[in-house]
Amino acid sequence: MPTLICDLDGVLYSESPQRRLDAWREANGGALGIAAPDELVDGELHAFRSGALDEAGYAHHLRARLGWQGADDDLLRLWSAGSSVVLGVIDVLSGLRDRGWQLIAVDGADPWTRRGREDQFAWTLSMFERVEAAGGPGARRPDPRFFADLLRGLPRHGPRLYVDPDARNVSAARRAGLDGHLFSGAGALQAACSSVLLAAT
């Protein structure tokens, strides 16, 4: 049985950090403590994504960082502004599943993003046989031990393809024994799956 392991961020889902920032600015009366989305990327965000910082702690940090004057509910609701599904990838994954591929997702999102996706796009997750968390107490990508753990639950025979928009994760997956594909679009994903099948025959 062929297996596709798909990173959710940047493959199945598309994010628009600028749209999130614009929504916060509008809800905050036109003023915000940061000017560009990359200013949000700091140690606290990394800690939040990995589970080292809880939701209340990150919310406190974010309120101060943004100069947020509104309600916490609005702050969290607008965190998911700009999220969308890449429909071309949905088509590819649906076709693979219809042809007998096992689909596994790897989710490295923070708790707020994950909750927003479950609210808006729960139907997309039903395509996957299982969803593996990319963070937590164990090894994290691009540590090859993460991929070695992932391999333990897969069939020993048949093609096993890992797809990710991050070249470091693709390289680590290859070192662990998976075929790796650097995601660049739905068409290239379809071609990579066909190529892996051909190489296995």
User: Are 3-14+84-200 and 17-79 the same fold in CATH?
Assistant: no
pLDDT at 83: 87
**Where exactly are the structural domains of the chain?**
3-14+84-200, 17-79
CATH of domain 3-14+84-200: 3.40.50.1000
Reported as a single tens digit per residue, the pLDDT across 114-154 is 888 888 888 999 999 988 888 655 677 888 888 888 888 77
The mean pLDDT of the chain is 90
| Residue 38 structure tokens | 């990359």
State pTM to two decimals.
0.86
CATH of domain 17-79: 1.10.150
Reported as a single tens digit per residue, the pLDDT across 68-120 is 998 888 999 899 887 899 999 999 999 999 999 999 999 988 889 988 888 88
User: 3 forms bridges with which residues in the sheet?
Assistant: 102, 160
pLDDT at 65: 95
